[in-house]
Structures are given as C-alpha cells and as structure tokens.
Amino acid sequence: MRLFCADSHLNHSDQRLEHGVSSSKELKACAGKGITFIELPLAFDALSVVVNRGNSWAQTISAEELSRTWGRQAQGRIKKWRQVNLDWPERPLRLCSPGSDSGTFDYFNEAINGDKANARTDVESSEDDNVLVSCVAKDPNAMAYFGFAYFQANADRLRALPIVGAAGIAVAPSVENVQNGSYKPLSRPLFVYVNDKQMRANDEIRSFVSFTVSNGLRFVAEAGYIPLPADTYRIVESKLYNHILGTSFGGDLPVGLSIGEALRRSFDATRKPEFR
C-alpha cells in the first residue's frame, strides 16, 4: 500500500490492499512531517502474464522473453509473436498494459526490465484491469499482465503463462507456488500502512485495523489475493499491538521475494533510523 504524507495523517482509512511498498519519496514526506507508521504485511500477489485461450502456441514464457517483449528496447520493433520466440507464429502481437501510475506497472518493470521506467509506451494501457482482461479475452493475438485476483476471476476466459525461471523450470501463478516461493520474480508482498499517532488517539481506527488484521486470512482469500500462512497473522497482530514502527524496505520494491524472505524483512528489528 502506498503512503500519502501530504498532511498530518495517512490517507488510508479504507484499508484497501495496494501493491508493493511505500516509495522513498513518500517515506521522506512522512519523515519531514514527523509522521510515524506501522507497516503490516497482509497478503501476497502473483502478477500474471495472460493470453487468450485461443492462443495455441505460447505455453510458457521466460523472464528474458518478457523483457524482450515489454522493455523499452522493444519499442516500435517487437510487433509479432515470432520476434519473441522463433517457434511462435508470424502473427501480430497486441500488448495491453497497466498504466504507468499503477504499482503493478512499477513492479513488473522492476522485476522484468530492471527499472520501473524501462518500459515501452507503444502499447494499449489502462488503469482499469477489466479493460486489460477484455483486451486479451477478445483477441487471440493479445498478451497482458495484471494481478492474480483478476486472473482468478477470469480464468475461464484467459490462460496464465507459467514463467520459466533460472533453473529452466516453468512455474504457473498459483496460491501454492507463491506460498512455497517457487513463483519468481513476479510475486510481491502487499501491505497496510497505519499512522501510529492517529491510531493511538482514536479507538475506532485501532479497532478497525485490528479487525482487518485478525480477519486477514479470510479477507485476503475473499479478495482473490494470496494469504500469508495462517499463524503469521498472529505475528502481524503482535507487530501492531507493540507499535513496531517504520519500514523494512526503505522505499525499494521487494522484487521476487518469497513469503518467508519478505516476512523476515518486514519483522526485522534493525530498521534504518530515518524510517523509524
């Protein structure tokens, strides 16, 4: 979840799950206004690369092929499926992407292209994932990427491509593969950030945040994201009640971390002093 520290409180009373971690700019804005916060991991997401069910040629895709397709160097050049993989047909390639204001866009390009700004712009983009779903569902030549929840909700219309990793093994996005750490590098942690001062002063905020965390397993599953291990939510509650402040990520996107790695960092007691 992103932080917004332009005023005296964190603007997240609705507790929506956002993607990734707070940015360095947002952290500095909080520090400049003396705002302290608690970073609470609630779920994981698996960014899913999807194609139309009528696509019979692309069964898996590698991180290298994704970079060849979506990176800035592909701008105006990679226009056909065969340019991505020589075994694929000479068919037009239609790409549909989240907009550049999206955390999904940032994370995907950081993970695949090494920099969130390293992305081609000659694609169809939208901040509405339903538009991206429709793009692929209606066109056998299309490819898109978005969060796991939208793929799950449209699995009868779309097919997710397993990602071939460094070991040469193709791994599909799934609850099991994210929880066991094998789906890389497109799995990402999701957080809620809470203004500690506001929560201490307002029992309703504390009750709401506590209710959210204590029911995290159920809420996350209902939303279509990937829950943390069941007993981990008790640890997150402990972090909340003990007011463990700051971030373990310092504004950097935690690319490709397993659940265990992300949680160890989230509960790391040795945080950077400027973000406490």
- How do residues 189-223 score in pLDDT, each as one tens digit? 888 889 999 999 999 999 999 999 999 889 998 88
**Residue 5 in domain:** no
Residue type for position 94? R
The answer to pTM > 0.75 is yes
The Cα-based distances of 101 to 16, 104, 121, 127, 150 in angstroms read 17, 9, 13, 8, 18
**Residue 203 in domain:** yes
**Residue 11 in domain:** no
CB 118 within 8 A of CB 109: yes
**Residue 120 in domain:** yes
Least confident of 66-70, 74-78, 236-240: 236-240
For 167, the domain range is 48-172
Domain check: are 106 and 119 in the same one? yes
CB 97 within 8 A of CB 50: no
DSSP strand pairing (142-146 vs 94-98): parallel
* Residue 111, token pair as written in the block: 């993970």
* Residue 107, token pair as written in the block: 């994370």
Number of domains into which the chain is organized = 2
Closest CA to 141 of 98, 80, 83: 80
Q: What is the pLDDT of residues 149-162, one digit of tens each?
A: 999 999 999 999 99
b/e 179-198 (16+ beta carbons within 10 angstroms → b) = beebbbbbbbbbbbbbbbeb
Whichever domain contains 121, its CATH number is: 3.40.190.10
Q: What is the pLDDT of residues 176-188, one digit of tens each?
A: 999 888 998 999 8
